[in-house]
A and B are shown apart, each in its own frame.
Chain A
Amino acid sequence: MPQKHTLFEKIWSRHAAVDHGASTLLYIDKHLVNEVTSPQAFDGLRGAGRALWAPESVIATADHNIPTANRKAGMHDEIAAQQLHALEKNCAEFSLSYFPLDDVRQGILHVVAPELGDTLPGTTIACGDSHTTTHGAFAALAFGVGTSDIEQVLATQSITLAKPRSMSVEITGKLPPGVYAKDVALGFLREFGTDCATGHVLEFTGEAVAAMSMEARMTLCNMATEAGARAGLITVDQVTIDYLRGRPHAPTGHDWDAAVEYWRTLRSDAGAVHDKALRFDVGALSPQVTWGTTPAMTVGIDDAVPSLDSYRDSDARKAAQRALEYMGIEAGTPMRALALDKIFIGSCTNARIEDLRVAAQVVRGKRVARSVRQALVVPGSGSVKRQAEAEGLDRIFIDAGFEWRDAGCSMCLGMNNDALAPGERCASTSNRNFEGRQGYGGRSHLVSPALAAASAVAGHFALPGEI
């Protein structure tokens, strides 16, 4: 009987260049480079007099620390300007493909590469950003790495990795109306914790995943890193192939046919065994909202902030106590009672065209609540922005009182001048609610775009049907 392989094993074995036993030198097909984690890597190369192994594998653009408003005025501060300039200089010096800030292809790398057709099934991808797991939606094995690894990929086109274990998560049931991939991710983290996938490549399977669009799958895989996973994966199906057809860098003609034939083999064989398997039913899942300072500190919108007594483990109770203090809320408070200062619709999790369409539908003809100080929509890329404008979504947002910005990571991590002030409470479509993540002392609640939009209008957490 032929051996059964998981999807992960199929991609891994095709890229394992040297097997050292405890570790493997894994060949990298595509390298995404941003301005924040790369300058020290290029300095390292220069210092050692090393050349690039495969400059054609690199796509570079600035996303983390760039202004999303009034770009013609230049960079928002001198240190950020130095960082952008370093990336531009490094890309010119090493002849890398770079999208400047005024290029329509500029944007968050995890939005840009898929929409250009640079994220292809069966490939390996590295990027100096933990949300590189996003690309797993295309059955690409994609790793977030640190700066030393960036330098290694630039110099050798490989990363050194102990072979991760494999974990499947079967998502069963049909998503109720008004419940999205973001809610699945948050509900999953709530159920299994932020370290449930440590050391593993996580493969999402099941009927709920099969029913998702590519953009929803990207949202799900994006959040795999919040479960501690090294990478996320979803098998190739017709949805994947339809999304890729005609993308600017996707194969064409005979190559397309050959590629599709190969891509269709990118699935776990029936009977292949994962090291760990979980099942998560979403048939009765409600829209989710985080209340605390990890993405696992999540409840349904109809719920209240949990009581400390609900934690048996003393470390978890201590963490919950601290989170309550940081978030400035009391156990037992209904989530809908929390007043919001800011709304952020953006990030590599939820700033694709589908996300903006959902949010625009919710706010069409309505107004952001007066009590909300700022409501931002930051498209994931210049192309997303242009598409949204072609559909008139920008007018809907602007008429409702949102600011319509240029592409970037923006307030997801607040490195640029979009940030929460101390004590400000934000409904955010981003991926992390860590202390200070969106701004020193800022209080982030992670939600889906639909819920962020409705909450902007209500001024507190609310469902689209309630505004």
Chain B
Amino acid sequence: MEPFSRLSSHLVPIDRDNVDTDAILPKQYMAMITREGFGEFLFDSWRYRETGAPGRDNSGRTPQADFALNNPAYAGARILLARKNFGCGSSREHAVWALAQYGIRALIAPSFADIFYGNCMKNGILPVRLPAHAVDRMFETIAVTGRLELTVDLPSQQVIEASGAAIAFDIDAMHKSSLLQGLDDIGRILAESSDALQAMRARRLAEEPWLLKK
């Protein structure tokens, strides 16, 4: 996965509470068996007037004019601004693939759903939790000025505004180092923890021999 260090971009605002992964990527696209091709279907039901389906031509659909992704002011944004409990509901990682393939590398919200948060980390997207009042202020700024540019700096764990003002955010050490290095988790686990996992497997079968009954 692509390492994440420091990212400067304007924001695209999704001004709703409890945005679920069904909304981020509707279920019909979960029928696709590849890891690619999800970006053009991000927020599909909110983004287009007509329903879409995998394999159907997407180019003739009418964009919903009032949806943020279709607003030229936000085109090319790599940071998405959201409200609380973003990514709730279904565990589908396809939602995160859609965000990543659309071009989003960082998310800012007061809170994220747990499975979604983990899925972001696995795909090099940094979800930044900021206090609700700071997020409110960003939405207000965008509403007034139309555009807000920020830098998300992972090494210093700060969101830095154009004025130079910085807001600190928390991230655990493991996620931080994985993102900074762009590490493949599985490769690292097999290299570092194979023995511990083999020992655990043996212990589990000794503790509960019925686990293998078929």
Q: Which of A302-331 contact B (CB under 8 A)?
A: 315-316, 318-319, 322
**Cβ contact within 8 Å between A18 and B193:** yes
- Minimum CB distance partner of A162 in chain B: B172
Assess A39 versus B174: contact at CB under 8 Å? Given A146-B92, A155-B190: no
A249 at the interface (CB under 8 A from B): yes
Task: Name the one of B33, B113, B185 contacting A82, with C-beta atoms under 8 angstroms.
Answer: B33
Assess A43 versus B35: contact at CB under 8 Å? Given A146-B91, A146-B119, A228-B85: yes
**Cβ contact within 8 Å between A80 and B31:** yes
Assess A316 versus B196: contact at CB under 8 Å? Given A37-B93, A86-B33, A415-B30: no
Q: Which of B142-165 contact A (CB under 8 A)?
A: none
Assess A21 versus B114: contact at CB under 8 Å? Given A79-B31, A144-B91: no
* A301→B211 CA distance, assembly (Å): 44
Question: Using Cβ atoms and an 8 Å threshold, which residues of chain A touch B208?
Answer: 120, 122-123, 259, 262
* A262→B211 CA distance, assembly (Å): 13
Question: Using Cβ atoms and an 8 Å threshold, which residues of chain A touch B55?
Answer: 78-79
What's the nearest-Cβ distance from chain A to residue B148, in Å? Answer: 19
A435 at the interface (CB under 8 A from B): yes
**Cβ contact within 8 Å between A415 and B31:** yes
* A14→B94 CA distance, assembly (Å): 32
What's the nearest-Cβ distance from chain B to residue A11, in Å? Answer: 12
* A54→B85 CA distance, assembly (Å): 35
A40 at the interface (CB under 8 A from B): yes
B168 at the interface (CB under 8 A from A): no
Assess A148 versus B93: contact at CB under 8 Å? Given A79-B31, A79-B55, A319-B16: yes
B103 at the interface (CB under 8 A from A): no
Question: Using Cβ atoms and an 8 Å threshold, which residues of chain B touch A228?
Answer: 85, 88, 113-114
A46-90 interface bits toward B, Cβ cutoff 8 Å, 1 = contact, 0 = none = 001010011010000000110000000000001110110010000
Q: Which of A101-123 contact B (CB under 8 A)?
A: 120, 122-123
**Cβ contact within 8 Å between A152 and B186:** yes
Q: Which of B17-51 contact A (CB under 8 A)?
A: 17-18, 20, 22-23, 26-28, 30-35, 45, 51
B96 at the interface (CB under 8 A from A): yes
Question: Using Cβ atoms and an 8 Å threshold, which residues of chain B touch A145?
Answer: 91, 115, 118
What's the nearest-Cβ distance from chain B to residue A132, in Å? Answer: 8
Question: Using Cβ atoms and an 8 Å threshold, which residues of chain A touch B211?
Answer: 29, 120, 123
B6 at the interface (CB under 8 A from A): no
A414 at the interface (CB under 8 A from B): yes
A425 at the interface (CB under 8 A from B): no
* A82→B30 CA distance, assembly (Å): 12
**Cβ contact within 8 Å between B93 and A25:** no
Interface centre among B54, B93, B173, B201 (most CB of A within 10 A): B93
B7 at the interface (CB under 8 A from A): no
**Cβ contact within 8 Å between A17 and B200:** yes
- Minimum CB distance partner of B184 in chain A: A48
Question: Using Cβ atoms and an 8 Å threshold, which residues of chain B touch A22?
Answer: 172-175
B109-126 interface bits toward A, Cβ cutoff 8 Å, 1 = contact, 0 = none = 001011100110011000
* A27→B213 CA distance, assembly (Å): 18
Question: Using Cβ atoms and an 8 Å threshold, which residues of chain A touch B113?
Answer: 195, 198, 228
- Minimum CB distance partner of B32 in chain A: A79
**Cβ contact within 8 Å between B197 and A25:** yes
**Cβ contact within 8 Å between B85 and A195:** yes
* A130→B208 CA distance, assembly (Å): 27
B133 at the interface (CB under 8 A from A): no
Question: Using Cβ atoms and an 8 Å threshold, which residues of chain B touch A122?
Answer: 208
* A64→B91 CA distance, assembly (Å): 13
- Minimum CB distance partner of A249 in chain B: B213
Assess A251 versus B213: contact at CB under 8 Å? Given A129-B91, A148-B185: yes
* A307→B94 CA distance, assembly (Å): 36
A187 at the interface (CB under 8 A from B): no
What's the nearest-Cβ distance from chain A to residue B200, in Å? Answer: 4
- Minimum CB distance partner of B214 in chain A: A249
Assess A152 versus B197: contact at CB under 8 Å? Given A40-B34, A315-B17: no
**Cβ contact within 8 Å between B23 and A146:** no
Assess A440 versus B91: contact at CB under 8 Å? Given A156-B190, A157-B201: no
- Minimum CB distance partner of A437 in chain B: B22
* A207→B8 CA distance, assembly (Å): 54
What's the nearest-Cβ distance from chain A to residue B91, in Å? Answer: 4
A434 at the interface (CB under 8 A from B): yes
Question: Using Cβ atoms and an 8 Å threshold, which residues of chain B touch A37?
Answer: 30, 91-93
Please report A residues at the B interface, Cβ cutoff 8 Å: 14-15, 17-18, 20-23, 25, 27, 29, 36-37, 39-40, 43-44, 48, 50, 53-54, 56, 64-65, 78-80, 82-83, 86, 97, 120, 122-123, 128-130, 132, 144-149, 151-152, 155-158, 160-162, 164, 194-195, 198-199, 228, 230, 249-252, 255-256, 258-259, 262, 294, 315-316, 318-319, 322, 413-415, 432, 434-437, 440-441
Task: Known pairs A17-B200, A152-B186, A413-B27; list 17 more (Cβ under 8 Å).
Answer: A17-B199, A18-B197, A36-B30, A40-B33, A130-B89, A144-B115, A146-B92, A146-B115, A147-B94, A155-B186, A158-B193, A194-B18, A195-B18, A250-B210, A259-B210, A415-B28, A435-B45
